[in-house]
Amino acid sequence: MSLYRPPRIPASQITPEHCFLARRSFLAAAAGGALLASGMPASAEALKASKSPYAVDEALTPEKDVTSYNNFYEFGMGKGDPIANSEKFKPTPWTVKVDGLVGKPKEFGLEELMALPLEERVYRMRCVEAWSMVIPWIGFPLSALLDKVEPLGDARYVAFETVVRPEEMPGQSGYFQSLPWPYVEGLRLDEARHPLTILSVGVYGKTLPNQNGAPIRLVVPWKYGFKGIKSIVKITLTDKQPPSTWNLAAPNEYGFYANVNPEVDHPRWSQASENRIGEGGFFGANRRPTLPFNGYAEEVAGLYSGMDLRANY
């Protein structure tokens, strides 16, 4: 059995070809309008978003919830702070530096990143606070970017760093400052290269809003949301496990791996069930059991064979 086999989709759920082609045209037009409005590059390659086989057969979370109920601590600790406080943030121009244990270190402009083959990936997303969403991301596999810099043989981990702009991000300064900055995260190299791991540049057929991590963010759907570092400016390959902001801030609550595990409770609440945002209100009674690895166990469990997932949470 292949470890990386995509989820099985019933034939009855497969979109007819003519609808798929029409949807691609719609996505391209929508993304093109958003790109032009935001000042992002609008090359032909940047507007192509194909339908990915990596998709869950579940109702999408309403766009208004995905773009208004967020954790993005650079803009504040409240779920409504990112949309309220990110208006002044400028996601263009933008570059992402990739360095460390690579053969070809490089600083990539946003236009070059947008030119990588984009896919729409419908993923379950799970937050450590026991709420979840189903989100249609647009992005490209992180492995496609790593291939361009040619990781060296002794590279074992991938470290990420977000932008620091306290004049545009009120959570990074003064009274609102809550964490040491920049926000940092990390993955093992095999996790980073897994086909499910993407760098997202869009959502709901549009470029990423500021509050969702514009212009580029990490998406790792089998891990809790705090691993999904936003507004990335630097990626470094290393032979040592890199620091992770929440693991440093509260190691008894947030582990480096952050794999969704219903059997490991947060010290202050259970992770055994979750509230799907958009179904019965934010604090509704329509809870569902939390799935191991957020429902992606068939694809990723083999990455952790032999590991104690209670100790390595």
294 labeled part of a ligand binding site: no
Question: Which residue shows structure tokens 């057969």?
Answer: 57
Q: Please indicate if the annotation marks 74 as binding a ligand.
A: yes
* The one-letter amino acid at 307: M
Whether residue 259 is annotated as binding a ligand: the answer is no
Dihedral (Cα; 142, 144, 147, 148), 10-degree rounding:
-110
Contact criterion met (CB below 8 Å) for 254 and 219: no
| Residue 32 marked as a ligand binder | no
Q: Confirm whether residue 73 is marked as ligand binding.
A: yes
70 is in an annotated binding site: yes
Comparing C-alpha atoms, which of 64, 37, 32 is closest to residue 48?
32
What's the CA gap between 273 and 284, in Å, rounded? 13
Q: Tell me how far apart the alpha carbons of residues 151 and 154 are, in angstroms, rounded to a whole number.
A: 8
CA dist 291 to 169, 222, 305, Å?
A: 34, 10, 18
Single-letter code of the amino acid located at 217 = R
**Is 229 marked as a binding-site residue?**
yes
DSSP letter (8 states) at residue 8: P
245 annotated as ligand-binding? no
**Partner residues linked to 207 by β-bridges:** 202
Cα 305 to Cα 313: distance, rounded to the nearest angstrom? 14
Using DSSP's 3-state secondary structure scheme, residue 240 falls into coil
Evaluate whether 133 touches 277 at the Cβ level (below 8 Å): yes
Which residue numbers belong to the known binding site for Mo-molybdopterin?
70, 73-74, 127, 162, 212, 217, 228-230
Which residue numbers belong to the known binding site?
70, 73-74, 127, 162, 212, 217, 228-230
